[in-house]
Chains A and B, each alone.
Chain A
């Protein structure tokens, strides 16, 4: 009798297939574990080093030559100011560009050339954006070392990431939704505003917040445009100068005194909490709005 399934062969091959399954399972588990382990060690080191310096004074003091007096007041307020500029500028420009490219632009070689370049820009080293910011915003537009100049430079840096994420989100809105909207007599703009954007908002905001997380962690472009490390005042307008958290941390880690390494660890802890907070918002938004469509 011609068997469809040769039980003997199946039985013979089964052990090796199971072993292979186990091997790959173990391999993937190990690769997950590797990342977690490194994160765990990092957390352990930073918490044991930095926790002693993490008190109310740390948030209320400016930078100081004495580790016990050093604080992040100027840095954390500066970081918030930077976000106040970067968030609206990069989101408005980024989502606008994505809508144009996906909804309005003709699908021709020129458009795909632009898209290719935007994806490429996402991989350009941040220091290059710093040089661009120095030439355009700091010098040509004479914005000097202001929150605005730094904010615009950082916006340029994260713009490609936001555009690509928004494009993906807009593209994933199903055709049926759009066609239904057109069938009801809606214009393109009405469709974009009432159908496409609401459906793609989780993807756009997730990408946007991840991009902003990158912006608050960057140091190199700010050093290039000349943002100072020590400021003992807070900015009052976006034309004032300021400093940010990662620069302060970078400075402390480069100091010879061991105590400053601990202060740096405390700064890193604050930075991590800030990042976890922002990423949780991204996750929350995604989960909350995804259900609706």
Chain B
């Protein structure tokens, strides 16, 4: 009986190991086949470590996927810990590139300085923070920046639509906002809230799909998030045009790309460590590849590409570093 127990355990362990090794041998096969296709450029190896914003993640995932076809031996890993979380790792010198859906903050800059980490900011794409309401909401079609502020800044009591414009119904507004750790919230805070506290009964969620569901299920709801989430859910949501003093502008691919959709059109970035570019050939090569392909990849995953000359500027900045 004891023997059987020992046997059963050994069998289980061998099973697990067999699966693990079988998969291990898979790798070598993969690399040998794909390695032959990528002989156009010098073959590079080593690691590229990227972390940061979950908003920028889809772009970097797409870029890294393509890069794998060119340089299969470079091991690229992309993390998801948020703009702020990514910068913490960048400050600790643990990552080569740090994605951000807002510019680096002064406090973060100071810490980077303190640790002697020099970096270069590379704009990657545009995103338009889109303000949305329920499709059954037939009275709101545009809001001025002041009205947005009046809506979202906490006043200590429940807000009615009639508080914003007297002709609107006397019904309580439900608010849906991205979580306070997100770069989207940071950006909205900077241009609309201006550090005033957000309405206290707002539903905050790190998952933008929850916000989509919230707004699409409640007639008196209002929310905001990245343009891609609106574009994918146009049948369930109604976008609100924003008036920044020059008449209402609807968030579209065009108005976000040319900056007319102000002030909620924002740039998303990646920050690269100058030292990593200078010391590691694969980081320099990957960064160049990112800039060259960011526009196309951004469009594919729902963002808006920058004008060509912006990518040229990025490339010039990078060329300075590798000189």
State the A residues within 8 Å of B (CB). 62-65, 77, 80-81, 83-84, 87, 139, 144-145, 198, 201, 223-224, 226-234, 236, 241, 243, 247, 251, 253-258, 261, 281, 288-289, 292
What are the 10 tightest A-B residue pairs by CB atom distance, in nearest-first order? A228-B77, A65-B62, A230-B78, A256-B232, A229-B80, A256-B229, A228-B79, A232-B68, A256-B228, A234-B27
> Which one of A65, A139, A241 has the highest number of Cβ atoms from chain B below 10 Å of its Cβ?
A65
> Is A234 a contact of B80 with CB atoms below 8 Å?
no
Q: Mark B13-29, 1 if CB is under 8 A from A, else 0.
A: 00011011001101100
> Is B5 a contact of A289 with CB atoms below 8 Å?
yes
Asked if B297 is at the interface (CB within 8 A of a chain A CB), the reply is yes
> Is B81 a contact of A223 with CB atoms below 8 Å?
yes
Asked, given contacts A63-B65, A256-B228, A257-B232, whether A227 binds B300 with beta carbons under 8 Å apart, the answer is no
How far is B25's CA from A234's CA once the two chains are assembled, in angstroms? 10
Please give, as numbers and ranges, the residues of chain A lying within 8 Å of B57 by CB-CB distance.
229-230, 251
Q: Mark B82-103, 1 if CB is under 8 A from A, else 0.
A: 0000000100101000000000
> Which one of B2, B58, B297 has the highest number of Cβ atoms from chain A below 10 Å of its Cβ?
B58
> Is A251 a contact of B80 with CB atoms below 8 Å?
yes
Of the candidates B47, B54, B62, the one whose C-beta lies within 8 Å of that of A254 is: B54
> Is B75 a contact of A233 with CB atoms below 8 Å?
yes
State the B residues within 8 Å of A (CB). 1-2, 5, 8, 12, 16-17, 19-20, 23-24, 26-27, 47, 49-51, 54, 57-58, 60-62, 64-65, 68, 75-81, 89, 92, 94, 206-209, 226, 228-229, 231-233, 297, 300-302
Please give, as numbers and ranges, the residues of chain A lying within 8 Å of B231 by CB-CB distance.
256
Please give, as numbers and ranges, the residues of chain A lying within 8 Å of B20 by CB-CB distance.
77, 80-81, 84
23 contacts between A and B (CB under 8 A): A63-B61, A65-B300, A65-B301, A77-B20, A80-B19, A80-B20, A81-B20, A201-B5, A224-B81, A230-B60, A230-B76, A231-B77, A231-B78, A232-B65, A232-B68, A233-B27, A236-B27, A241-B47, A251-B57, A254-B54, A256-B232, A258-B232, A292-B1
How far is B78's CA from A62's CA once the two chains are assembled, in angstroms? 13
Q: How many A-B residue pairs have CB under 8 A?
A: 113
Asked, given contacts A257-B232, A258-B232, whether A230 binds B51 with beta carbons under 8 Å apart, the answer is no
Please give, as numbers and ranges, the residues of chain A lying within 8 Å of B5 by CB-CB distance.
198, 201, 289
How far is B317's CA from A109's CA once the two chains are assembled, in angstroms? 65
Q: Determine chain B's interface SS by DSSP, over half rule.
A: helix
Of the candidates B77, B229, B233, B302, the one whose C-beta lies within 8 Å of that of A241 is: B77
- Chain B residue nearest to A224 (CB atoms) is B81
How far is B16's CA from A87's CA once the two chains are assembled, in angstroms? 11
> Is B207 a contact of A254 with CB atoms below 8 Å?
yes
> Is A228 a contact of B65 with CB atoms below 8 Å?
no
> Is B232 a contact of A226 with CB atoms below 8 Å?
no
Closest chain-B Cβ to A260's Cβ sits at a distance in Å of: 10
How far is B81's CA from A247's CA once the two chains are assembled, in angstroms? 11
Of the candidates B17, B19, B75, B297, the one whose C-beta lies within 8 Å of that of A65 is: B297
> Is A256 a contact of B23 with CB atoms below 8 Å?
no
Please give, as numbers and ranges, the residues of chain B lying within 8 Å of A289 by CB-CB distance.
5
> Is B23 a contact of A77 with CB atoms below 8 Å?
yes
> Which one of B12, B24, B233, B300 has the highest number of Cβ atoms from chain A below 10 Å of its Cβ?
B24
How far is B80's CA from A247's CA once the two chains are assembled, in angstroms? 9
Please give, as numbers and ranges, the residues of chain B lying within 8 Å of A77 by CB-CB distance.
20, 23
- Chain B residue nearest to A69 (CB atoms) is B65
